[in-house]
């Protein structure tokens, strides 16, 4: 019976660690350790059937899906609506906008992805495409507009980075406005 | 996703063993702990290790869902066979006084069908999750 009490204490410790930790990957790994220990406890309390299901689902499938979603979250998706080479990357001379955005992504450890147009239909689980930034050119004042979500904390850093450039303006939109085609 | 060589090699080695273990749990489900659901999830995890090796997916979600529907209909069909042999639905299609070793066949068939159904369902969920951004890459 001593092993059971030890394992239960370990479960409580790991649960506290999961709640207090800030690193995503550490949380996922300790979550799978948590379900492994839970499976051991199920087995010791004579429920091997539940233990098998817990091992397969709790310590393999759920952490895999979580790790995948974390790796997808590391992308910064930009929609390019310009005609000129403001956002184009090349070996000799890349555009000013591209330099700003790549510096911004380097600061946060994100992966920059620039797309020319939206796909026709989205057939994933989520139909709404999550676009972080739209780059446009204003007709009258000939300034470049960076449109992002107001709720995103990252926008403040982008605003600060773009402040020295005269012809760039950062606009923060309400939630849902960025989805218009 | 960036893949390290170590992870790739280990998942290549582990892949057949996980498949075998899943099949073992499905086939012995009527005698020992485990069964269709548990074995199906283990089969699905075996399949998911392929994604760790090569992150591009090659199966379409639609064909997987079609296969799942066919398996579901087969499950219903196996359950209804007993109407014709014994006159009672949703029981063993073999008569009551047969040997237990032969009566086991019914449970094994049900376990195999259910395990395959669970595996295809989980793989379909995971494939839909992975292919979230794939169509996006083609347009660029």
Q: How far is A56 from chain B (nearest CA, A)?
A: 6
CB contact under 8 A, B42 and A56: yes
A56, A88, A131: best to mutate for the B interface, most B CBs within 10 A: A56
User: How far apart are the C-alpha atoms of A102 and B6, rounded to whole Å?
Assistant: 30
| A68/B contact by beta carbon, under 8 A | yes
Q: Residues A140, A146, A151, A157: is their CA dihedral positive or negative?
A: negative
- pLDDT tens profile B33-48: 888 899 999 999 888 8
**For residue B98, what are its two tokens?**
């047969």
Main-chain dihedrals φ then ψ at residue B133, nearest 5 degrees? -105, 0
| B91/A contact by beta carbon, under 8 A | no
CB contact under 8 A, A124 and B132: yes
Mean pLDDT in chain B?
85
User: B-contacting residues of A 8-67, CB under 8 Å?
Assistant: 48-49, 51-53, 56-57, 60-61, 64-65
CB contact under 8 A, B38 and A69: no
Could you write out the DSSP letters of every residue in A65-126?
Answer: HHHHHHHHHTEEEEEE--SSSTT---SS---HHHHHHHHHHHHHT-EEEEESS--S---SS-
Q: What is the pLDDT of residue A113?
A: 75
CB contact under 8 A, B41 and A56: yes
Is the model more confident about B18 or about A163?
A: B18
Is the model more confident about B55 or about B109?
A: B109
Q: What ipTM describes this predicted complex?
A: 0.79
Q: How far is A54 from chain B (nearest CA, A)?
A: 9
- pLDDT tens profile B95-118: 888 888 888 999 999 999 999 999
Other Cβ atoms less than 10 A from the Cβ of B17: the count is 10
Using a CB-CB cut-off of 8 Å, the residues of chain A touching B138 are 119
- Helix, coil or strand: residue B126: helix
For B45, the closest of A51, A53, A60 (CB atoms) is: A60
Please give the residue of chain B at the shortest CA–CA distance from A74.
Answer: B1
Q: What is the pLDDT of residue A149?
A: 72
Domain definitions of chain B by residue range: 5-139
At B8, the pLDDT band (50, 70, 90 cuts) reads confident
Cα angle, residue A7 at apex, residues A6 and A11 outer, rounded to 5°: 120
| A176/B contact by beta carbon, under 8 A | no
**For residue B46, what are its two tokens?**
């075996």
Q: What is the pLDDT of residue B75?
A: 92
- pLDDT tens profile A6-56: 999 999 999 999 999 988 889 999 999 999 999 999 999 999 999 999 988
């Amino acid at each position: 019976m001593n092993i059971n009490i030890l394992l239960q204490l370990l479960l409580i410790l790991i649960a506290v660690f999961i709640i207090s930790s800030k690193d995503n990957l550490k949380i996922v790994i300790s979550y799978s350790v948590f379900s492994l220990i839970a499976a051991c406890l199920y087995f010791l309390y004579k429920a091997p059937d539940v233990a098998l299901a817990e091992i397969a689902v709790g310590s393999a499938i759920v952490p895999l899906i979580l790790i995948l979603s974390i790796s997808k979250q590391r992308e910064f998706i930009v929609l390019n609506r310009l005609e000129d080479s403001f956002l184009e990357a090349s070996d000799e001379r890349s555009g000013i906008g591209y330099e700003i955005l790549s510096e911004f992504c380097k600061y946060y450890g994100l992966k920059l992805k620039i797309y020319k147009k939206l796909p026709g239909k989205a057939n994933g689980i989520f139909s709404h495409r999550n676009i972080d930034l739209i780059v446009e050119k204003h007709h009258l004042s000939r300034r470049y507009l960076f449109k992002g979500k107001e709720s995103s904390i990252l926008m403040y850093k982008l605003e600060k980075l773009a402040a020295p450039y005269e012809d760039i303006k950062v606009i923060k939109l309400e939630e849902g406005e960025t989805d218009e085609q | 996703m960036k893949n390290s060589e170590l992870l790739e090699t280990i998942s290549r080695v582990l892949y057949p063993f996980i498949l075998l273990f899943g099949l073992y749990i499905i086939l012995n489900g009527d005698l020992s702990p485990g069964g269709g659901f548990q074995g199906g999830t283990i089969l699905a995890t075996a399949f998911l290790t392929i994604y760790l090796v090569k992150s591009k997916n090659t199966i379409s979600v639609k064909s997987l869902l079609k296969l799942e529907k066919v398996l579901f209909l087969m499950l219903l069909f196996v359950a209804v066979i007993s109407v014709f042999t014994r006159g009672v639905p949703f029981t063993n299609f073999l008569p009551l006084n047969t040997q237990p070793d032969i009566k086991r066949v019914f449970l094994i068939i049900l376990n195999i069908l259910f395990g395959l159904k669970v595996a295809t369902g989980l793989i379909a969920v995971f494939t839909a999750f992975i292919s979230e951004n794939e169509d996006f890459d083609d347009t660029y």
